[in-house]
Amino acid sequence: MESRSLLSHLEFHETDPYAKPVLVNKDIRILRWMLNPGQSIGEHAVPDSPFYIVVLQGRGMFSGGDGHEVEHGPASLLLFEQGESHAIRALDEELIFVSFMRGAEVMRPDQTGGEIGHEAG
């Protein structure tokens, strides 16, 4: 068995949300997301997988395919269907959540995660 702490070694970036790979391989993509207050991830979809979120800390506004924002906080589980659009906005505190997606044969762990809105360099 392997174990990982999800609330240690947190890395927040000043201007953009940050996604740190927890486990990425051909079977699964688990990312830990860290958003400063007011940061957001614009509407997008995961075309090749259902998308699941577990909120660990903080509160944020989450919207699904209907575009309606709903506030969620710690211990919330959000389930998005494959290809369903979603967006996220941190409220007035740091927001930390973990996402789970199906992996892909061509997954490269070093090319997954990072600052959202910036190309890996």
pLDDT digits (tens, 9 = 90+) for 40-78: 999 999 888 999 999 999 999 999 999 999 999 999 999
Percent of the residues in the chain that have a pLDDT greater than 70, as a whole number? 86
Query: Between β-strands 40-44 and 51-57, what pairing exists: parallel, antiparallel or unpaired?
Result: unpaired
- Is the pLDDT reported for residue 118 higher than 50? no
Q: What sign for the dihedral angle of Cα 49, 41, 7, 105?
A: positive
Domain boundaries, the chain: 21-114
- Amino acid in the structure at residue 56: L
Q: Which residue has the higher pLDDT, 24 or 110?
A: 24
Which CATH code for domain 21-114? 2.60.120.10
**pTM, rounded to two decimals:** 0.87
Pick from 54, 94, 100, 53: which is nearest to 74 by CA? Answer: 54
